[in-house]
Amino acid sequence: MAHDSMPHYMAELVLADRPVLVVGGGRVARRKIEGLLVTGARVTVVAPHLDPVVAGWAATGRIDHWPQAFSILLLDRPPRPLLVFAATDRAELNRSIGAACRKHGLLCNSADDPESSGFLVPAVVRRGAVTVAVGSGGRSPALMRVLKERIDAWLEPGWGELAALFGHWREAIQARIADPEIRQNFWRATAVEAARDPEGPPLRGDAEAWFEARVREQGESF
Ligand SMILES: C[C@@]1(CC(=O)O)C2=NC(=C\c3[nH]c(c(CCC(=O)O)c3CC(=O)O)Cc3[nH]c(c(CC(=O)O)c3CCC(=O)O)/C=C3\N/C(=C\2)[C@@H](CCC(=O)O)[C@]3(C)CC(=O)O)/[C@H]1CCC(=O)O
Ligand SMILES: NC(=O)c1ccc[n+]([C@@H]2O[C@H](COP(=O)([O-])OP(=O)(O)OC[C@H]3O[C@@H](n4cnc5c(N)ncnc54)[C@H](O)[C@@H]3O)[C@@H](O)[C@H]2O)c1
């Protein structure tokens, strides 16, 4: 069975303080590193030459730089990476990095070879802690960029704040509504209510009163 006929598993990786190795330091590596830096990942770049922006990150200590050609031995050099990006301009090298990672049990993203990649990078839109990610299974990054821009133009800014507010209330609601099923119904109904206007009452008004009213209303209908 061809791998690319299988759907991919979308996940939110927690990369803070986790070592990530990026092989190649050009334009494409720069975009991947940009996405990694916001997560707090510990990025090491191995490449003989760096894009000027990547060189700036190395100079200021935001990333580590090993100024050399890739060698398989580097996969075992501390800090041993959790993930690897193969983003050199040499297709054969990217492929052999992918194969070595597979042997090492490491997930590798290959910038020019979706078929052999262990994971693909989606196009991402963020509103605070809320992330919308789109991927085409490697079929068309250009199309994913356009789709991302469309979502970005459409998605209300309030979603991030709303998620923060709901997150803040989780513990209190857990204490107030002991029954897990009733609690789940509460959160579902409350989310539907809030989503009617993501810039609306819970953010503009008194959030505490709003949640209290929801608990009362929902309590009656349970
Ligand atoms: C989403 C995004 C995330 C990111 O990289 O940050 C991303 N590529 C982006 C942009 C983009 N990349 C390319 C173009 C030029 C137009 C075009 O070729 O279509 C544009 C558009 C542009 O720049 O406008 C060229 C390209 N990309 C890949 C190949 C190799 C191949 O497909 O064989 C080639 C051909 C190179 C050549 O021909 O020389 C491969 C991959 N690119 C992926 C992700 C993965 C699949 C995601 C999916 O579709 O599921 C995958 C498989 C591996 C990976 O990199 O993870 C980012 C969105 C930008 C944004 O967010 O604004
Ligand atoms: N995935 C994507 O989104 C995407 C988009 C466009 C292009 N690409 C592909 O990505 C690849 C990289 O493109 P680019 O524009 O960043 O290239 P680039 O020329 O800007 O950078 C290439 C980098 O690879 C490094 N390199 C070369 N040989 C090396 C070695 N032996 N060991 C370690 N590093 C080495 C160079 O020093 C340089 O830093 C190309 O194959 C291109 O087809 C992917």
Residue of 9, 36, 112 best suited for mutating to test ligand 1, as the one with most atoms within 8 Å of CB: 112
Instruction: Identify whether 2 is part of a domain.
Output: no
Q: How far is the CA of 210 from the centre of ligand 2 (A)?
A: 52
Tokens of 184: 């789940």
Q: Could you please report the per-residue DSSP string of 117-163? A: -S--PPEEEEETTEEEEE--TTS-HHHHHHHHHHHHHHS-THHHHHH
Q: Which atom of ligand 1 is nearest to the CA of 120?
A: 56
Q: Please report the pLDDT score of residue 5 as a whole number.
A: 72
Return the residue whose CA atom lies nearest to atom 13 of ligand 1: 141
Residue 111 to residues 15, 28, 85, 89, 124, Cα–Cα distance (Å): 20, 8, 7, 9, 17
Low-confidence ranges of the chain (pLDDT < 50): 1-2, 222
Query: What sign does the CA torsion over 190, 192, 197, 199 have?
Result: positive
Same domain for 48 and 86? yes
Closest listed ligand to the CA of 72? 2
Give Cα 110 distance to the centre of its chain. Answer: 17
Q: Please report the pLDDT score of residue 77 as a whole number.
A: 95
Verify whether ligand 2 is closer than 6 Å to residue 27 (CB atom).
yes
Q: Please report the pLDDT score of residue 116 as a whole number.
A: 87
pTM above 0.90, yes or no: yes
Same domain for 74 and 165? no
Verify whether ligand 1 is closer than 6 Å to residue 142 (CB atom).
yes
Same domain for 114 and 136? no
Closest listed ligand to the CA of 95? 2
Same domain for 169 and 97? no
Instruction: Identify whether 148 is part of a domain.
Output: yes
Q: CB within 8 A of 67, min separation 6: which ones?
A: 47, 48
The residue segments making up the domain with residue 57 are 12-121
Q: Is 165 exposed, middle or buried (0-12, 13-18, 19+ CB in 10 A)?
A: middle
Q: Please report the pLDDT score of residue 4 as a whole number.
A: 56
Final residue of a structural domain among 139, 155, 171: 155
Q: Please report the pLDDT score of residue 115 as a whole number.
A: 87
Same domain for 56 and 75? yes
Instruction: Identify whether 6 is part of a domain.
Output: no
Q: How far is the CA of 86 from the centre of ligand 2 (A)?
A: 8
Q: Which atom of ligand 1 is nearest to the CA of 136?
A: 50
Tokens of 49: 């030459």
